[in-house]
Structures are given as structure tokens and as C-alpha cells.
């Protein structure tokens, strides 16, 4: 099974003189489809940096470091989200993220009843929608960022 990922591998700097930008225009820097920088443009702009994403594949196995964590499970046929053409799986944090209470003890929360692999994201969304407490386990999981992911 191969995992498709985008790797920013080509950088091209072009010196073109004024590119037609006007004072107070905004230029966005994109990486993997996300805005990672925003710059106010002045009329003296004389270069632009272009990033070209290159699609490549890598083989991932359980225990590999990837996407800020460690591959803990690779989806199999029958799992929610399984795609025979694109490898998907679960990534575990490389270290314990601390302690958090379940939250909203005694409160009936609609949804959050999935037990199959692949239902965790929806369970988390249901818990957050039904519980306004902060610093609960679902919030910790939902907002966790490791290695940029």
C-alpha cells in the first residue's frame, strides 16, 4: 500500500519588475492549499516566489514516524474511510499528551456512539457540540497539533 502526500520540492524566484500590484493589495503565501503567510504589497514589489507541489508516494507501516506522530493502524477493507487506492490510517501522538477529564459528567450527549475504527472524528465533534466545558479530553484531541499536523 502506498500513501500519497504532497511535498513542496521546487522553489522558483522570479524577478519581474512591478507585477501590477497596487498599494494596499494583499499577497498570500500558500503551502499545501493553506494560507501560511499574508503580506501587504507596496508598489515596489519586484519578485515573487512560486512553490510547486510535487506528488510523490511513500510506503508507511505501523510504527513509522509520520505526520507528527507514529503510525498506529492502517485501515483495512471494511474500515470506515478505507480506500484500496490510497492508504489511510491512524496516527498516535509520540508522547502522552497529559490528563484531561471526559467532561460533562452526567450529561446525555447526542451522537458520540460510534465504536468502529474511523468514527472517532465524528464522536469528537458530537462531544464538543454537546458539552461546553473546556479542557476536556475531546477538546484536547480536537485541537492537538504535532509536527505541523
- pTM value? 0.57
14: left (phi over 0), alpha (psi -120 to 50) or beta: beta
10 in the same domain as 41:
yes
83 in the same domain as 48:
no
Q: What is the CA radius of gyration of the chain?
A: 21
67 in the same domain as 46:
no
64 in the same domain as 53:
no
CA separation for the pair 123, 80 (Å, rounded): 13
CA separation for the pair 98, 57 (Å, rounded): 34
Q: For 36-40, 97-101, 105-109, 138-142, which range has the lowest pLDDT when averaged over its residues? A: 36-40
Give the total number of structural domains in the chain. 2
43 in the same domain as 73:
no
User: Quick one: average pLDDT of 118-137?
Assistant: 91
137 in the same domain as 65:
yes
Residue 148 lies in a domain: no
Which pLDDT tens digit goes with each residue over 55-113? 556 778 999 998 889 999 999 999 988 988 888 899 999 998 888 888 898 888 999 89
Host domain of residue 29: 3-57
Burial of 17 (C-beta count, 10 Å sphere; 0-12/13-18/19+): exposed
70 in the same domain as 113:
yes
Amino acid at each position: 500500500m502506498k500513501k500519497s502526500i504532497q511535498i513542496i520540492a521546487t522553489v522558483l524566484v522570479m524577478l519581474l519588475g512591478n507585477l501590477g500590484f497596487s498599494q494596499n493589495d494583499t499577497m498570500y503565501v500558500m503551502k499545501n492549499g493553506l494560507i501560511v503567510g499574508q503580506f501587504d504589497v507596496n508598489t515596489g514589489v519586484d519578485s515573487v516566489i512560486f512553490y510547486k507541489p510535487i506528488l510523490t508516494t511513500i510506503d508507511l507501516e505501523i510504527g513509522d514516524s509520520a505526520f507528527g506522530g507514529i503510525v498506529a493502524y492502517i485501515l483495512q477493507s471494511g474500515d470506515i474511510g478505507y480506500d484500496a487506492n490510497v492508504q489511510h490510517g491512524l496516527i498516535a501522538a509520540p508522547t502522552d499528551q497529559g490528563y484531561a477529564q471526559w467532561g460533562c459528567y452526567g450529561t446525555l450527549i447526542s451522537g458520540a456512539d460510534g465504536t468502529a475504527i474511523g468514527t472517532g472524528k465524528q464522536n469528537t465533534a458530537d462531544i464538543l457540540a454537546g458539552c461546553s466545558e473546556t479542557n476536556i479530553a475531546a477538546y484536547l484531541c480536537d485541537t492537538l497539533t504535532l509536527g505541523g499536523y
